[in-house]
Chains A and B, each alone.
Chain A
Amino acid sequence: MRRLNLQKTENMAADMRLPTFRKQVSLSPSLSALDGKDLVVPGDVITSDTGFMRGHGTYMDEEKLTASVAGEVERVNKLVCVRPLRTRFNGEVGDVVVGRITEVQQKRWKVETNSRLDSVLLLSSVNLPGGELRRRSAEDELTMRDYLQEGDLISVSSDLTLTSNLGPFSFIAEVQSVFSDGALSLHTRSLKYGKLGQGVLVQLSPSLIKRQKTHFHNLPCGASIILGNNGFVWLYPAPGQQDEEAGGYYTSLEPVSLSDREVISRLRNCLLALGAHKVLLYDTSVLYCYESSLPHQIKDILKPEVMEEIVMVTRQKLVEQEG
């Protein structure tokens, strides 16, 4: 919906109100997702049986197995562990993450991926401009800043074994391996990964992103989305006629059209609404939320009552789809 820029009336005043308790949106008590799940808080005794092996999120307190984080208890044969509901991103091999370069070091970049440690992107793990495959020379080391600078965003994937830490550009990469200290090593080997251009980054909790086969989606509403496993979601205008490779280092700085912008802003607000109500994020849920938000103005989506209404409709649609 277009706004008239010239007429400034009282509608333009700030939306002020008294605070109210935030209600948790739930469909009905019988459909509560808590049925059958074993939730614990730190200090809760899980079992007094000594026959179990203790996994992550637990500790032994005088012969009793106690939880150290708040989350769900998982039992696999004799192994008991607690999976926390909200935590920093723990990367696994093959995860797709969106990260920001924080530092440029010798032969590698440090990347912030919302995990406990900064992740590492080695110079040998990126595609050089032109797609060439050759040994990295000393010259490449000196011109690292020409490829990726502090502040840029990338998309990457994580591989096997290396564990290292990577750096603010937005780029998308794959986790290559996990270092012994828990830091992630990333690579942008495939052409679909690499530096990201114009768009919007939304930071959410990693536990809200559903693990799927692919994390790159071209939504029918006119924008594209990358759901990084680390909770960073990248929204960008759908690529044009020619298929530009995301792995390229040339980013188009042409102005994005107003209709694309509206779609992206609406999606961003929908993502924040879903995140605030702890709805699992995947392409279908984002799309349903977008559709149910269409009757409202984009900037109204972040008002508490509008958020609740939209999330309610989205949840209903998701339940209908499953049932």
Chain B
Amino acid sequence: MATVQVSEAEKVYILHGVRDDLRVDGRGCEDYRHMEIETDMVSNTDGSAKVTLGHTDVLVGVKAEMGKPRPMVPDEGYLEFFVDCSANATPEFEGRGGDELGMELSNTLYKVFNNRYSVDLKSLCISPGEHCWVLYVDVLLLQCDGNLFDAISVAIKAALFNTKIPKVHISEDEEGGKEIELSDDPYDCMRLNVENVPCIVTLCKVGHRHVVDATLQEKACSVASLIISVTHKGTVTCVRKVGGGSLDPESIFEMTETGKRVGKALHAPLMALLQEEESLGKKRQKVGFLG
């Protein structure tokens, strides 16, 4: 993650502020920064989304390709994740600098999203044991200002909502072999049900309290963070601890409760916003990258 240096006095100031529930930018411990979401802006993908959270900028593209299902689960498709930390985000990512962070992010995303409870993988099956849809989810970090996991998870949910997979017809030809036809109509496509897709909430322990959506300065003052993925019902699907410091069980319990509450509250406005964007249809003014 990109790091900033803070002096001891600044750290003390931030710690006392968090203790009094007034962070440096005036937010409370559970408030997010201003978030902007836009979908369908990369034309050569099947679904895309761009999320701006404060100064963190994340772009997600989803491409659907046909592949062979995994041997253990022949009637399900699967997702593949790749996170690219571009040097645009911060000079630390130049060359191979961003690879380590990218690997860590990808592995966490696999755990969170690639299971049948989050995404309906059975709907990605075309013919059991032979063909299935593989969704390649590519994440591009454009700007890094703290709280990458949250922004990425919101972007993935929005991109999956926006994904249009072409409908496939399987017909048998004379010798009994299967023939796959994609329909010619570009609007004849199937959409994914993203109701159960979780959102990730990162909680950083600063002093004796924890904060949601930490900036880089607050991250420099914390030694341990907890990453929780929460569904719209408030169910916790994955918990992971990052950072070199230690967390005692009471803190973990408190942070999990906060994460559940905050995560549950993320889903409703997100889905409402995505539905609103969809209903605007062609009238929507595309802002893109130059807004």
Contact = CB atoms under 8 A, between A and B. Distances in A.
Interface of A: 3, 5, 8, 10, 12-22, 100, 102, 149-153, 168-170, 196-201, 251, 253, 255-256, 258, 261-262, 265-266, 268-269, 297-299, 301-304
21 contacts: A14-B31, A14-B35, A14-B269, A16-B35, A16-B36, A18-B277, A21-B285, A151-B5, A153-B9, A168-B7, A170-B7, A170-B10, A196-B7, A198-B10, A200-B10, A200-B24, A253-B9, A266-B26, A298-B25, A298-B26, A299-B25
Interface in B54-100: none
Contact of A12 (B10, B30, B34): B30
Interface of B: 5-10, 12-13, 16-17, 20-28, 30-38, 52, 261-262, 265-266, 268-270, 273, 276-277, 284-285, 287, 291
B178 to A, nearest CB: 43
A57 to B, nearest CB: 25
A102 B4 CA distance: 11
Contacts of A151: 5-8
A265 B16 contact: no
Contact of A18 (B23, B31, B268, B273): B273
A19 B7 contact: no
Contacts of A199: 9-10, 13
A151 B5 CA distance: 5
Contacts of B9: 153, 170, 196-199, 251, 253
A5 B265 contact: no
A261 B21 contact: no
Contacts of A258: 20, 22
A302 B34 contact: yes
A168 B291 contact: no
Given A17-B36, A268-B24, A297-B26, 9 more contacts: A8-B261, A14-B266, A19-B37, A19-B52, A170-B9, A200-B13, A253-B12, A256-B16, A265-B24
Given A12-B30, A19-B291, A198 B25 contact: no
Given A17-B273, A151-B6, A269 B26 contact: yes
Nearest to A297: B26
Nearest to B20: A258
Contact of B36 (A12, A18, A201, A251): A18
A298 to B, nearest CB: 3
A100 B5 contact: yes
Contact of A13 (B7, B33, B268): B268
B13 A18 contact: no
- Residue from the set A13, A20, A150, A297 with the largest chain B CB neighbour count within 10 Å: A13
Nearest to B27: A299
Report the 10 A-B pairs with minimum CB-CB distance, sorted nearest first: A298-B26, A14-B32, A168-B5, A13-B265, A299-B26, A198-B13, A19-B36, A265-B26, A151-B5, A19-B287
A102 B175 CA distance: 74
B30 A261 contact: no
A169 B6 CA distance: 7
